Structure 1
Amino acid sequence: MNRFSDNGRGMLLMIGNTAAFTFSDACVKAIGSDLPLSQILVLRGIVASLFIAFLALRLGALRHRPSGADALLMLLRGVAECGSAYFFLTALRNMPLANATALLQMVPLTVTLGSAVFFGEPVGWRRWLAIAGGFFGMLLIVRPGTEGFTAFSVYALLAVGAVTLRDLATRRVSPSLPSMQVTLSSAVLVMLFAAGWSLGEDWQPLDARLSLLMLGTSLLIIAGYTLSVMVMRVGEVGFIAPFRYTGLLWALLLGLVIWGELPHPMTLLGAAVIVGMGSFTLWRERQLRRAGGLQLAGAKTRRT
């Protein structure tokens, strides 16, 4: 009963987590071209970095000193985070919210692919088929060769690549290094990247509407980071992870209500394929971890 209760809380936290990040993206999209993207990232980055630093201090996450290898991985992760922020938010401001969000759901599949290619992690034929199915769903969304395929479609795909690189780098960081320290390093790097970028752009004054939207995206980012930390501490990751796809439902709802965006039927089909294949991959990885745990427990029993 306790385990189910933990999983239930974890599910709700994950749904809240995806809602916070999706609503934050919607605020950025609503700002549009009224503010330079670099200015948005600097202002939001200051708020997010200060909050993450406060949280890291409260959790004692800054007492650990990273090794040289971990420092390089944190730098790589931060650079990838800069790329993902630039490419995704640029795409987001120029394409439907649901389309950009749906493409980002490819990440669990591309991380599985990257882990197999770069780290030699075993991937069975079922997950290979799921990865292939996910890429087919991606093609249904971007539809190369049609008028719906633009440079911003490419930006969204580059964002998927950058997030994949970020997550692969995160997997290689030593487990002993606190996650909040890793998160803080990336947040600061994104802020510094945006600050340097903003030097060549003219900052714009904030009226009441823009101030509210900037406050909204900043507070929602803080909520997203907070819920991310809480999710990691509750329930089974394998059970909770598939609920990350609820972000797509939030994106569909917000796009329809705020901008009147009704995705193309092929986009909806592609999104459904990606979610289905990604959910299967996460479920399969959960099953394999369970099987590995049972085998390890059996071996320990035999030795005793």
Structure 2
Amino acid sequence: MSPAEPRHHLLGIAFVIGAASCFATMDTTVRYVGAHFSVALVLWARYGLHASIMTLWIALSRQRSFRSANPMFQIARGALLAFSSAMAFAALRRMPVAEFTAIVMLTPVVATVVARLWLKEQVSRLRWALVVGGFLGALIVVRPGSGLVGWAALLPLAATFSNAAFQSMTSRYAPHEDPFTTNFYTGATGVTIATPLLLASVADPVDTLLAAPAVQIGALLAVAILGTAGHLLLILALGKAPASTLMPFQYVQLAAAALAGYLVFGLAPDGWSWLGMAIIGVCGAASAWLNVRAAAERHRPVSAVQADTVAE
């Protein structure tokens, strides 16, 4: 290890903690704007600005390109992520940010199941134990029948399964794509899907935006900026440190989400929720680390788009 590597690793950790903070703040903001705007409008704003920022970024860079080696992969991947985001945004209108984040953090655990069923990969007993542990943690958070969350818990679960399928697909093709190009197609596909949904919605989006106060418009823009910034920080983090080093620090998002939810909405997880979140954090981080190690053993470079544990 060169003398500069520890410093680079610390910078990478700082970037990934910044990304986790962006996503937690974004989710808190989504919960706020969800009371004023439709899911379709929030989704359109989120991916529309994302696509615009990445278009400008690539256009001004001499080293980046809009050309994709696997355009169908980009479309399918973007569609899965857009569906995940739609489910996430709908969930955040109905449940606390911390509990939502905990369920979505099951993604690396669910990816194990998807890899077994879809890709027919062999799964060790340890990884199956982490799957069971992760879902046990989710049950503790949700506590079916308690009335704390209710049926809304199905929405982040749907987002988690969709994101796990997205990650399994990404693990096959992302190493052959420029992560900045892939990040552009994330926004482009998302806004393409969100536009007809927005036009088909009951409320006129132009009238809705014109009638909204400035603070709500600012919050809507913040959702898009925070989501795009989070993904860019992940890309920068992977350029400074290996994924196996960074993965556990993404779970800072659990604590950040709990803090943001408390500061903005006065909602603090109870003791059982903290226990469930801790179990999910341990099982999810361990599963993510094993997934990264397995990719390394297959001699596949892990890109930033593979390092996402949540659908934002």
Interval of TM-score (by shorter of Structure 1 and Structure 2): 0.7 to 0.9
- Stretch of structure 1 that moved more, 220-229 or 12-21: 220-229
Cα pair 2:68 2:181 within 8 Å, conserved: no
| 8 Å Cα contact 2:22-2:227 kept in structure 1 | yes
- Residues 36 and 201, structure 1, Cα contact 8 Å, conserved in 2: no
Cα distance change on mapping 1:196 and 1:239 into 2, 3 Å: same
Please say which structure displays the higher CA radius of gyration.
Answer: 1
Does the alignment pair 1:103 with 2:103?
yes
- Residue 126 of structure 1 is matched in structure 2 by 126
Question: 2 CA distance for matches of 1:174 and 1:286?
Answer: 14
What corresponds to 1:241 in structure 2?
Answer: 247
Tell me by how many angstroms 1:27 deviates: 1.4
SS at structure 2 position matched to 1:270: helix
Gap change, CA 1:291 and 1:38, over 3 Å in 2: closer
Of the three residues 227, 235, 239, the one matched with 1:229 is: 235
1:1-304 equivalence runs, <5 A? 1-57=3-59, 58=61, 60-62=63-65, 64-66=67-69, 70-173=70-173, 175-199=175-199, 200-202=201-203, 203=205, 204=208, 205-285=211-291
Q: Distance in 1 between matches of 2:238 and 2:266?
A: 35
**Any idea what the Cα deviations from partners look like across 1:196-228, whole Å, max 9, x if unmatched?**
111123121231211221232222223212212
SS of alignment partner, residue 177 of structure 2: coil
SS of match in other structure, 2:246: helix
CA distance in 2, matches of 1:198, 1:283: 38
Q: Deviations over 1:199-258 (max 9, x none)?
A: 123121231211221232222223212212201211111011111100111100011111
Shift of 1:189: 1.8
**Bigger mean CA deviation after superposition, 220-229 or 278-287:** 278-287
State the Cα distance separating 1:288 from its structure 2 match: 5.9
Task: Say whether the 8 Å CA contact 2:34–2:89 is kept in structure 1.
Answer: no
Q: CA deviation at 1:40?
A: 1.9
Distance 1:291 1:151, change over 3 A: closer
Distance 1:166 1:75 in 2: 11
Residues 146-203 of structure 1: CA distance to partner in whole angstroms, max 9, x if unpaired? 3224221111111111111111111121522212222222211211222111112312
The normalised TM-score by structure 1 is 0.88
Q: Structure 1 residues 208, 288: closer, same or farther in 2, change over 3 A?
A: closer
Q: Structure 2 counterpart of 1:46, which letter? A: G
Aligned length: 290
The residue that corresponds to 1:301 in the other structure is none
Q: Within 2, Cα distance between the matches of 1:122 and 1:2? A: 38
The structural deviation recorded for 1:98 is 0.3
Cα distance change on mapping 1:159 and 1:132 into 2, 3 Å:
same
Q: Which amino acid aligns with 1:160?
A: T
Distance 1:147 1:113, change over 3 A: same
Q: Name the SS for the 1:263 alignment partner.
A: coil
CA distance in 1 between counterparts of 2:66 and 2:36 reads 41
SS of alignment partner, residue 94 of structure 1: coil
Q: Percent identity?
A: 22
The CA deviation string for residues 109-152 of structure 1, in whole angstroms up to 9 with x for no partner, is 11133223322333322222111111111111122233224221
| TM, length-normalised to structure 2 | 0.86
